Amino acid sequence: MVQERRQSVKQYNRNRVFRFIAARKRVSKQEIATELGLSLPTTTQNLNSLREEGLITENGTFESQVGRKARAVSIVPGFRVAVGLDITPHHISLVLADLNGDIIDHLRKSFTIASDEASYLALRDDIEAFIRKNQIRPEQILGMGISIPGIIAFDHETIVEADTLPVPNHFCRIMQKYFSFPCRILNDASCAGVAEFWRNDYENQTIVYLLLSNTVGGAILINGAPYAGMTNRSGEFGHMTIVPDGRHCSCGRYGCAEAYCSALVLSSHTDNNLETFFRELDNGNREFKDLVDRYLENLAILINNVNLSLDCPVVLGGYMGAYLKRYLDRIRRLVRERCTFVTDGLYVQPCACEFEAAALGAAISYIEEFIKNI
């Protein structure tokens, strides 16, 4: 028992030392000891073991006026990497992320996945080529997280429901057969929320991440971990009714938030190209201005409902995330006007992770797990 406890304290300290170095990027032994409240011999012991394993490295010296210059240490970000794959009905995105959660490389291409082996093999070839191009050794890869717009079982292997993708429920196991590293399948909004949490400083907070892409999803993140609910489908804000018997939704029902707040509501007017939509808007298109006005009013209904339920920051992400930044003040005013209670609306937050958030979050699920066990 005592032995076990000593072991766990040792592991705990080693983990803290690694995380501290990762957070600070470049740090001296003295700083680690002082800030983490560890003795110098304990710090040295931890640094030696992390260095021997290849997890950290010396990184020059710090300038000092007196005495010897202190040596700096940093983590080796590429010691292990993870792959993130985001699949949407007509595209795939791949990212390769290091231990800092930084994107080493990414690829986005048109790809309409079908339910046949030729399609799976074509996907496998793309993934293999992407890994090969980056000269990553198989043993460096912690795993591949696959993000999809759908409900996933608690085993992270079985798809329960993914109406917009024609893949079988055991799709993850098909992928697992192709690769020597592990694969898991995850909900896209949860992945994007995890990436957002990683990028932004939401420590010890609960946040809601709203995924406003061609579908509308969401994730409730409690201190960085998605809240699963009873059946692993919490945060499906896109299918909350905001207009009874309103517009037809992709789910087959009527009046869901997705039918009013998805990126398609705007981009469908410009051949599904959001960039073109906003360019034409900036060029003075009156019709587009009215569309945006109505979009923002509907979005405010959704955001207010979410905030009334959970009373926490609501981050606006997905494809729309980057475009909504310019409307932040207006959205905050709209939710202020709609809310029953006094609020400054500052709980509405722009996203920090604009780029490939879902694919990155899928990769981060493996990075987080690895760091937890260092």
C-beta of 80 vs 239, nearer to Zn ion:
239
Q: Minimum Å distance from CB 303 to Zn ion?
A: 17
| 352: contact with Zn ion by CB under 5 A | no
**Taking Cα atoms as reference points, which of 183, 218, 224 lies closest to residue 317?**
218
C-beta of 250 vs 365, nearer to Zn ion:
250
The mark string for 222-261 relative to Zn ion (x by CB under 5 A, - otherwise) is: -----------------x---------x-x-x--x-----
Question: 348 vs 165, 199, 246, 329, 343, CA distance in Å?
Answer: 31, 17, 26, 9, 11
**Burial bucket for residue 209 (CB in 10 Å: 0-12, 13-18, 19+):** buried
- How far is Cα 149 from Cα 33, in angstroms, rounded to an integer? 45
C-beta of 119 vs 241, nearer to Zn ion:
241
What residues from 255 to 314 belong to the interface with Zn ion (CB under 5 A)? 256
C-beta of 251 vs 308, nearer to Zn ion:
251
Burial 79-106 (b: 16+ CB within 10 A, else e): ebbbbbbbbbeeebbbbbbbbbbebeeb
C-beta of 186 vs 242, nearer to Zn ion:
242
Q: Phi/psi zone of residue 327: left (φ > 0), alpha (ψ -120 to 50 degrees), beta?
A: alpha
Question: Judged by CB under 5 A, how many residues of this single chain contact Zn ion?
Answer: 5
CA 52 to chain centre: 31
**Taking Cα atoms as reference points, which of 353, 373, 357 lies closest to residue 80?**
373
Q: Minimum Å distance from CB 165 to Zn ion?
A: 16
Q: Minimum Å distance from CB 258 to Zn ion?
A: 5
Q: Minimum Å distance from CB 205 to Zn ion?
A: 29
C-beta of 61 vs 309, nearer to Zn ion:
309
Q: Minimum Å distance from CB 216 to Zn ion?
A: 9
- Interface with Zn ion by CB under 5 A: which residues? 239, 249, 251, 253, 256
